Amino acid sequence: MTASPNASAFRTRIDEQLSSFVADQRARLVDLGPDLEPFVDAAATFVSGGKRLRPQFCYAGWLVAGGDPDETGILAAAASFEWLQASALAHDDLMDGSDTRRGKPSIHRDFEARHSNGNSVGDAAQFGRSVALLLGDLMLSWSEEMFRNCALVNVDAGAIYLDLCKTEVVAGQYLDVVGQTRPEFSVADAMRVVRFKSAKYTIERPLHVGAALAGADDELLAILSAFGLPLGEAFQLRDDMLGVFGDPEVTGKPAGDDLREGKRTVLIARTAERTDDAGRELLRRGLGNGEYIAQLRELIISTGADAAVEEDIASLEREAEAALATLGKSAQFHLRDLMLKATRRNH
Amino acid sequence: MTASPNASAFRTRIDEQLSSFVADQRARLVDLGPDLEPFVDAAATFVSGGKRLRPQFCYAGWLVAGGDPDETGILAAAASFEWLQASALAHDDLMDGSDTRRGKPSIHRDFEARHSNGNSVGDAAQFGRSVALLLGDLMLSWSEEMFRNCALVNVDAGAIYLDLCKTEVVAGQYLDVVGQTRPEFSVADAMRVVRFKSAKYTIERPLHVGAALAGADDELLAILSAFGLPLGEAFQLRDDMLGVFGDPEVTGKPAGDDLREGKRTVLIARTAERTDDAGRELLRRGLGNGEYIAQLRELIISTGADAAVEEDIASLEREAEAALATLGKSAQFHLRDLMLKATRRNH
């Protein structure tokens, strides 16, 4: 049995993979024109943040399926998820018009500011949006390129799950965007978005990719779904709770950010199904309006929606735990730590 | 020697590949939720237009390198370029705020209208933009997925050139976007954008991908560059001419569309370097303003910029022709027809 990788050592190894990949791309791109330097640098900076959650699950899937812990190819494959995530975040910020990401300006705002500060003509905001769009496209292509060049023998088997992952996350985002246009929305609708946009994308598919790269059979992949899907749902519900009640000092996001943005989360759906006409009116008026944060928090607590979501999380954790118990001791060891990190966190 | 494929028969075979791919994706996605149906349908509709230029060059590269004309895997690989192109067009229309594409509403306008016509809440324009962004991302992932599943033995060799192609086209678009923010721009700047955004993307790299899939050696790949780059540049210069002087009945775009959009083309750069202060002032004021189309056309003609660009095209064609002459008779046969289609066209 191999030791579970120390989180910070793993992070360093993932960062090394990303740096080395971006250095190669940079050499090639700057050759095409020096103007491309700030563009590549923005990609490198943007990917340097984050929790490396998807690489961790991918690597855990590899270990659980009996992959060699010292194989470097799996690190490249695992790290490639960070380009996919960076692309999704750049495009998310663009769709939401978000000003910041992890306490720094979002890409479109960053390049808008560079335009305004320089001797530039044309619309600065439009320039910023174009650059964020293109950088997201570039990073999406890079995720595939990095993954495919991992040089593992089972790369095609892993790619099946990566392809599913990429289609599912866009489908989940689309369902989310469509959901926002509906006057009413149910807990079931909100949970479906959670499943595709978060649970599959963040946990189940990275586990599958790693496991398939190590030659996992269908039985193991099914157990990883039984473990990863409820865990991923619990992970997102924890995120929803932090988006409303999280400490800005710890989360790095403004207090009540999800309420200000008007996100249609499971927490809000649970509130809507438990409140009266006055409460639903407050939700209609207050969601997406920063002035109503305190009132909305009160409504969520008074209806018991927060407690209900905590119960959802606990029940999903038990489900994941039950799936975990069917695996061997070594597999349990690799996955339990990650499981706790995903749901018992404050940021 | 095999016969050059009849263009319309080839088109049908490419369309079949795309339809079969999208049918598989549709079955999978609609399973995730019926709301996804219009999303997949929009992708299928959007990819159904177009000249299939990149698939044609990819297939020609395959034939020139000795690939079997009856192999179906090359059709899947060639068709995958259409998803890349559809993604680029969806995102281009978003960046440019274009209302139409091939005479139909652009994706963001299409979904904006669906939002407005339905019982929807929120900002219709923002909804349309989000859908176009997500659909572009999905189609970009699909291009890779379709390519990788072509089941040709040399798929990794082909992928090297596809990866280059995808990075180069985004780099070219970025250089274009940056160029638009500069008060001045030169013929050299404009030609660099042409090289990456068009010549490599549309002709050189599709040829390389097809040839590499058939096991081409470095010598053949170098000849295909010597042929494809000047041809691709000529292709884009022809596009620039049509964007100013093309017949709307034939091009499907409004007359003088490039002038209305204020595109910084080689044709405009050639005009700027040949005119006087008054002409440059007209360019500054008139580019991007539909009221100045007639005046700008007159300026382009009076400076002789149009004739200069026609000379550029002729000279690039001679360059491509010289490279072609170094290939065998069969290769010349496969490429000459495509060459004429790319530069001697009216749409």
Structure tokens at B170: 């985004």
Q: What is the mean pLDDT of residues A62-69?
A: 97
Predicted confidence at residue A3, as pLDDT, reads 42
Q: Do A115 and B144 touch (CB under 8 A)?
A: no
Measured in angstroms, the CA of A281 and the nearest CA of chain B are apart by 15
Predicted confidence at residue B337, as pLDDT, reads 87
Q: Do B163 and A183 touch (CB under 8 A)?
A: no
CATH architecture of A154-347: Orthogonal Bundle (1.10)
Q: Do A138 and B178 touch (CB under 8 A)?
A: no
Which pLDDT tens digit goes with each residue over A235-280?
999 999 999 999 888 877 778 888 998 888 999 999 999 999 999 9
Q: Indicate the class that CATH gives domain A1-48+72-151.
A: mainly alpha
d(CA A130, CA B187): 23
Share of chain A above pLDDT 70, in %: 99
Closest-approach residue (CA) in chain B for A92: B130
- Please check whether residue B142 is in contact with residue A163, taking contact to mean a CB–CB distance below 8 angstroms: no
Q: Which residues of chain B are within 8 Å of residue A91 when distances are taken between CB atoms?
A: 133-134, 137
Strand partners, B104: B101
Per-residue pLDDT band for A33 (boundaries 50, 70, 90) equals: confident
Question: What are the residue ranges of helices labelled H in chain A?
Answer: 7-32, 37-47, 53-64, 73-96, 107-117, 124-148, 155-179, 187-193, 205-213, 218-245, 248-251, 257-261, 266-274, 277-286, 293-302, 305-324, 329-343
Strand partners, A101: A104
Q: What is the mean pLDDT of residues A43-63?
A: 94
Of the two residues B170 and A3, the one the predictor is more confident about is B170
d(CA A223, CA A321): 11
- Please check whether residue A305 is in contact with residue A283, taking contact to mean a CB–CB distance below 8 angstroms: no
- Please check whether residue B171 is in contact with residue A35, taking contact to mean a CB–CB distance below 8 angstroms: no
Strand partners, B101: B104
Structure tokens at A46: 């943007």
Q: Do B121 and A183 touch (CB under 8 A)?
A: yes
| Three-state SS sequence of chain B | CCCCCCHHHHHHHHHHHHHHHHHHHHHHHHHHCHHHHHHHHHHHHHHCCCCCHHHHHHHHHHHHCCCCCCCCHHHHHHHHHHHHHHHHHHHHHHHHCCCEECCEECHHHHHHHHHHHCCCCCCHHHHHHHHHHHHHHHHHHHHHHHHHCCCCCCHHHHHHHHHHHHHHHHHHHHHHHHHHCCCCCCHHHHHHHHHHHHHHHHHHHHHHHHHHHCCCCHHHHHHHHHHHHHHHHHHHHHHHHHHHHCCHHHHCCCCCHHHHHCCCCHHHHHHHHHCCHHHHHHHHHHCCCHHHHHHHHHHHHHCCHHHHHHHHHHHHHHHHHHHHHCCCHHHHHHHHHHHHHHHCCCC
Residue A100 parent element (H or E): strand A100-101
Q: Give me the phi and psi of B253, to 5 degrees please.
A: -115, 155
Predicted confidence at residue A116, as pLDDT, reads 87
Residues of each domain in chain A carrying CATH 1.10.600.10: 1-48+72-151, 154-347
Q: Indicate the class that CATH gives domain B153-347.
A: mainly alpha
| A167 vs B29, B33, B182: nearest CB | B29
Predicted confidence at residue B3, as pLDDT, reads 41
Predicted confidence at residue A94, as pLDDT, reads 95
Q: CB-based contacts of B188: which residues, under 8 Å, 6+ apart?
A: none
Q: Do B33 and A171 touch (CB under 8 A)?
A: yes
The answer, yes or no, to whether residue A2 has pLDDT greater than 70, is: no
| B178 vs A25, A35, A192: nearest CB | A35
Amino acid at residue number B265: T
Q: Could you tell me if residue A33 is left (phi over 0), alpha (psi between -120 and 50 degrees) or otherwise beta?
A: left
Q: CB-based contacts of A328: which residues, under 8 Å, 6+ apart?
A: none
The residue whose two tokens read 């369309």 is B15
d(CA B126, CA B112): 8
Measured in angstroms, the CA of B137 and the nearest CA of chain A are apart by 7
Measured in angstroms, the CA of A330 and the nearest CA of chain B are apart by 34
Q: Do B122 and A181 touch (CB under 8 A)?
A: yes
Strand partners, A105: A100
Predicted confidence at residue A343, as pLDDT, reads 79
d(CA B185, CA B192): 11
- Please check whether residue A121 is in contact with residue B182, taking contact to mean a CB–CB distance below 8 angstroms: yes
Parts of chain B with a pLDDT under 70: 1-5
d(CA B20, CA B311): 44
Which pLDDT tens digit goes with each residue over A140-187?
999 999 999 999 999 999 999 999 999 999 999 999 999 888 888 899
- Identify the CA nearest to A283 among candidates A177, A308, A189, A293: A293
Q: Which residues of chain B are within 8 Å of residue A142 when distances are taken between CB atoms?
A: 167
Query: Residue A344 in 3-state DSSP?
Result: coil
**Residue A250: how many other CB atoms lie within 10 Å:** 11
Strand partners, B62: none
Predicted confidence at residue B51, as pLDDT, reads 86
- In the DSSP assignment, the letter for residue A36 is G
| A36 vs B120, B148, B171: nearest CB | B171
Q: Which residues of chain A are within 8 Å of residue B148 when distances are taken between CB atoms?
A: 148, 156, 159
Which pLDDT tens digit goes with each residue over A279-323?
999 999 999 899 999 999 999 999 999 999 999 999 999 999 999
Per-residue pLDDT band for A1 (boundaries 50, 70, 90) equals: very low
Structure tokens at A206: 């990275």
d(CA B97, CA B197): 19
Predicted confidence at residue B2, as pLDDT, reads 41
Strand partners, A100: A105
Average pLDDT, chain A: 93
